[in-house]
Amino acid sequence: MQFWIVQSLNSLAMGGLLFLLSAGFSLIFGLLRIPNLAHGALFMLGAYFGATLLASHMNFWLAALVSGLGVGLIGVVLEAVLLRRLAGNEQGQVLVTLGVAFIIADLCLLTWGGDPMPLGAPRALRPPVFIGGFAFPGYRLVVLGFALVCALLLWLLLERTRLGAMIRAGVDDREMARSVGIPVSRLFSAVFFLGAFLAGVGGVVGGPILSAYPGLDADMLPLALVVVILGGVGSLPGALVGSFIVGGIYNFGSALFPDFAYVVLFLPMVVVLVIKPTGLFGRVLR
Amino acid sequence: MALSRRLLVQSGLGAATVALTGTVARADEPIRIGFLTVKTGPLAAGGIQMEQGMNLFLKLRGNKLAGRDVQLIVADTAGSPATTRTKAQELVERDKVHVLIGPLAAFEALAIADYVNTQKMPTLGVAAADDTTQRSASPWYARATASAGQCAHAIAHYAATELKYKRMTIIGDDFAYGHEQNAAFLRVFEDNGGKVVQKLWPPLNAPDYGTYVSQIKNNVDAVFMSFAGSNGFRFTKAFFEYGLGGKIPLIGGMTAMDEAILQQTGEDAVGIVSANWYSAAYDNPANKEFVAGMQRDYKIDPGYYAAGPAVAGAVLEAGMKALGGRFDDREALMKAMRTAVITDSVRGPVKFDDRGNAIGNIYIRKVEKKGGKNVNTVIKTYPDVSQFWTYAEAEFLAKPVYSRDYPPAKNLEN
């Protein structure tokens, strides 16, 4: 019984973390039609920014905000300086994001060295909580709650604001959106900022669980891809549901079928792609 | 006329042979060391420290070994086997190096194993893969550090006989380095009366250890971890996050509590016992000088990665000294290095067995807080440990190489 409860909590907490990672990835993927392969690197950059700010005794949540803004800014520059020049050349854009991922990773190595850097959770949230006699790390529940709040705010942004309506229009049909006068290229900048901002915040909030270390980018990017392909490109509910599914599969899969820890993550993705190629919540993109 | 032409051709051929093998060294020529390490990508943390350790070792020797100038040529393998092969080829054929040191990772070492043999290139390795000095040992390869299983044997003995653990969980990275350490631990621990009741294998790039930590049986005496790179640090953090720290003792293999991650692990690391052929806290003059140099030049305590090249350098120096400073005869140099007996390297005394692996001290270290920082205090020394532990070499080699499932764990509980 304890096994099921603890692994369920693990799954939910990891799902929350994955949502912070993949929500921005999904938005960018949906609007720009390209997987931003630098997303893992942006997430890692957020973690490193956070580690640096926390080392100088900044408040944890403020550090998350500042890191998010910093990474968001880098995202905007990346979009405006590199990707916009390659408009229409989607293969070129994907390759550029991959190149940027390598550059960011090696710059991080140069700046922060190769040794892992810890990010301490706020002290009050550190002690394990006891649920029916067993310990569960309290901070992981906070991450889950934080992710749900973010999901709600993003949903309000997308469903209840003018910007959100424009983004949704752009995701559904880019040409139509352009022809009704939506400034699609400014929208690209806004979405790239938002996506990178979420990655940066996610890097800090996930930091106490993951830490900042070289290779964090490469560890996280495939998870973001799996979540988004499973949930459907450009869909917020898809990213949320996909995150929890992947969190559950990862935790229960590696606990119940330890010899298949690698396969278990990708198998469901393949199954979904065969049955519903657009993902669980995805629509056909034009 | 015909005679002189033949002479010309012959002498030309002779010159060509000399140029090809490149073994004729001028008396004032420096020894060229080809240094293979990883300077970019996820493995770069260790690779950069390797280079720092090598640079410092040469600096402390005034850039001279056995009276000869040294030229160090560093190549970045980027942690990729194919690149390692290309770089090794460049070093050997273009730069005409006299000896290779490195590479870092086992799969890189495997990628150049054949090449090193066909080129007859003296190579001092640091990668840990057991079989490179066991079932597929090469006369051109020697490892002055340790095989993956070598330190795990010692700590398994210590856990069973001194810590008196009876039932243990072992966990390690799901690749050869983790497999070999855990298998070596299991064998010696069970041969000394212990029981391994649970084995866990997180993938090398596990994003989170929570799911593994929460599977650890709550009634084991202790947990043994064999992790590489930053994984030991991340696992230890999760172990404490889930409230197991302080309840179940945690002990580690060769790199699980490396100096490279010791400070970051903070309070959680204190009390963790691990085994290595090196400790920054090991007390001999060579190591004191080396540690002070690393702290002065690079602001870090050296660990496994930085100390490896320093030991390899000491082996090269001893080999050259035995040859009176010569290094042009590769066969003689390799033989001199493999038969060298070094008494004062940074790891203490070291020599080689007949398969080219180090026989030397293995230190059982315990993390203590001293002067505001974590140090690996040596609490016991196993002297002259061979890669075969106390087993007979022939019997050891007749069995399969250590792996995920060999030796089989007979006492697993579900």
DSSP string, B237-250: HHHHHTT-TTTS-E
Instruction: Identify the residue with better confidence: A36 or A273.
Output: A36
CA distance B213 to B236: 9
Strand partners, A216: none
According to DSSP, the residues that pair with B369 across neighbouring strands are B374
Q: Chain A residue with minimal CA distance to B47?
A: A114
For chain A, give the secondary structure using H, E and C: CHHHHHHHHHHHHHHHHHHHHHHHHHHHHHHHCCCCCCHHHHHHHHHHHHHHHHHCCCCHHHHHHHHHHHHHHHHHHHHHHHHHHHCCCHHHHHHHHHHHHHHHHHHHHHHHCCCCECCCCCHHHCCEEEECCEEEEHHHHHHHHHHHHHHHHHHHHHHHCHHHHHHHHHHHCHHHHHHCCCCHHHHHHHHHHHHHHHHHHHHHHCHHHHCECCCHHHHHHHHHHHHHHHHCCCCHHHHHHHHHHHHHHHHHHHHHCHHHCCHHHHHHHHHHHHHCCCCCCCCCCC
Q: Does pLDDT of A259 surpass 80?
A: no
Comparing CB atoms, the residue among B41, B201, B243 nearest residue A128 is B243
What per-residue confidence (pLDDT) applies to A284? 65
- Peptide bond just before B122 cis, omega within 30 deg: no
Q: Shortest CB distance from A117 goes to which of B201, B203, B264?
A: B264
ipTM value for the complex: 0.86
B104 vs B41: CA distance, rounded Å: 13
| The two domains B11-147+283-360 and B149-282+361-398 share their CATH topology (first three levels equal) | yes
Q: Which two tokens stand for residue B285?
A: 């003059």
Could you tell me which chain A residue has the CA closest to the CA of B266?
A118
For the segment A169-195, the average pLDDT, to the nearest whole number, is 87
Residues of A in contact with B212 (CB under 8 A): 254
Say whether B207 and A128 touch across the interface (CB within 8 A): no
For B299, name the nearest residue in chain A, comparing CA atoms only.
A113
Any idea where the domains of chain B sit in the sequence? Answer: 11-147+283-360, 149-282+361-398
Domain B11-147+283-360 sits in CATH at 3.40.50.2300
**Is A7 in contact with B214 (Cβ distance < 8 A)?**
yes
Element (H, E) at B385: strand B373-385
| pLDDT for res B27 | 67
Give yes or no for B363 touching A (CB within 8 A).
no
For an interface test with A, give the residue of B211, B233, B242 to mutate (most A CBs within 10 A). Answer: B211
User: How many CA within 13 A on the CB side of residue B199?
Assistant: 24
> What does DSSP assign to residue B205?
T
Model confidence band, residue B202 (pLDDT cutoffs 50, 70, 90): very high
Which residues of chain B have a CB within 8 Å of the CB of A135? Answer: 242-243
Q: How far apart are CA B35 and CA B77, in angstroms?
A: 10
Set of chain B residues whose Cβ sits within 8 Å of the Cβ of A105: 41
pLDDT at A253 (0 to 100): 87
For residues A120 and A63, the answer to whether their CB atoms sit within 8 Å is no
For A248, the closest chain B residue by CA position comes to B211
For residue A188, pLDDT beyond 50? yes
Alpha carbon of A130 to those of A5, A16, A17, A144: distances in Å?
Answer: 12, 20, 21, 17
Pick from B230, B239, B414 the residue to mutate for testing the A interface (most A CBs within 10 Å). B230
Q: Do A218 and B174 touch (CB under 8 A)?
A: no
pLDDT at B28 over 90: no
Amino acid at A154: L
**Eight-state DSSP code of residue B197:** E
Terminal Cα distance for chain B, rounded: 88
Give me the pLDDT at residue B41, please.
74
Average the pLDDT over each of A204-218, A254-268, B183-197, B213-227 and give the range with the smallest value. Answer: A254-268
Backbone angles phi, psi at B185, to 5 degrees: -65, -50
In the block, residue with structure tokens 């070499």: B393
Residue B283 DSSP one-character state = -
Instruction: Compare CB distances from B234 to A211, A218, A223 and report the shortest one's residue.
Output: A211
Contact residues on chain A for B237, CB-CB shorter than 8 A:
118, 211
Mean pLDDT of B37-41: 86
Residue B13: band (very low, low, confident or very high) from pLDDT cuts 50, 70, 90: very low
Tell me the two tokens of residue A88.
Answer: 């229409």
List pLDDT tens digits, range B144-195. 999 999 999 999 999 999 999 999 999 999 989 999 999 999 999 999 999 9
- What is the SS3 assignment for B326-367? CCCCHHHHHHHHHCCCEEEECCEEEEECCCCEEEEEEEEEEE
Q: Is B261 an 8 Å CB contact of chain A?
A: yes
The pLDDT value given to residue B393: 95
Q: Name which of B42, B233, B242 is nearest A128 (Cβ-Cβ).
A: B242
pLDDT in tens, B247-288: 999 999 999 999 988 988 999 999 999 999 999 999 999 999
Q: Using 50, 70 and 90 to split pLDDT, how confident is the model at A285?
A: low
Number of H helices, E strands in chain A: 12, 2
Chain A CB contacts of B206 under 8 Å are: 261
Average pLDDT of chain B is: 91
Q: Say yes or no: B339 contacts chain A, CB-CB below 8 A.
A: no
For residue B228, what are the CA distances in angstroms to A86, B175, B181? 40, 10, 11
Six-digit token pair at B357? 């692996």
Q: What is the mean pLDDT of residues A107-122?
A: 89
Of A17, A114, A211, Cβ closest to residue B45: A114
Q: Quick one: closest CA in B to A253, which residue?
A: B211
Asked if the C-beta of B253 comes within 8 angstroms of chain A's C-beta atoms, the answer is: no
B343 phi-psi bin (left φ>0, alpha ψ -120 to 50, beta other): alpha
Contacts 24+ apart (CB under 8 A), B408-414: B409/B186, B409/B196, B409/B199, B410/B190, B411/B190, B411/B195, B411/B196, B411/B197, B412/B196, B412/B197, B412/B198, B412/B199, B413/B197, B413/B198, B413/B217
- pLDDT tens by residue, B347-372: 999 999 999 999 999 999 999 999 99
- Return d(Cα B292, Cα B281) in angstroms, integer: 11
pTM of the model: 0.88
Q: What share of chain B is helix, strand, coil (3-state, %, to 5)?
A: 40, 20, 35
| Partner A contacted by B42 (CB < 8 A) | yes
| A107-131: average pLDDT | 87
What the block records as the tokens of B244 is: 């197991």
Residue B67, number of CB atoms within 10 A of its CB:
9
Tell me A281's DSSP state: S
How close, in Å, is residue A243 to chain B by CA atoms? 14
- At residue B15, the pLDDT reads 46
Largest CA distance in chain A: 61
Answer whether residue B14 shows pLDDT above 60.
no
**What share of residues in chain A are helix, strand, coil (percent, to 5)?**
75, 5, 20
Q: Which CATH number fits domain B149-282+361-398: 3.40.50.11290, 3.30.1360.200, 3.40.50.2300, 1.10.10.10?
A: 3.40.50.2300
* Listed residue (A12, A4, A1, A25) closest to A223, CA to CA: A25
CA A211 to chain centre: 16
Unique residue bearing structure tokens 């398969």? B355
pLDDT of amino acid B205: 81
The helix or strand, by DSSP H or E, that contains position B396, with its residue range, turns out to be: helix B393-398
Most A CBs within 10 Å, among B241, B294, B298, B373, to test the A interface: B241
Q: Nearest Cβ partner of A214 from B45, B212, B238?
A: B45
Answer whether residue B1 shows pLDDT above 50: no
| pLDDT tens digit sequence for B206-252 | 888 999 999 999 899 999 999 988 889 999 999 999 989 989 999 99
Amino acid at B42: P
Going by their DSSP bridges, the two strands B99-101 and B123-125 should be labelled as: parallel
The secondary structure element, H or E, covering residue B111 is helix B106-119
Q: How far apart are CA A118 and CA A124, in angstroms?
A: 17
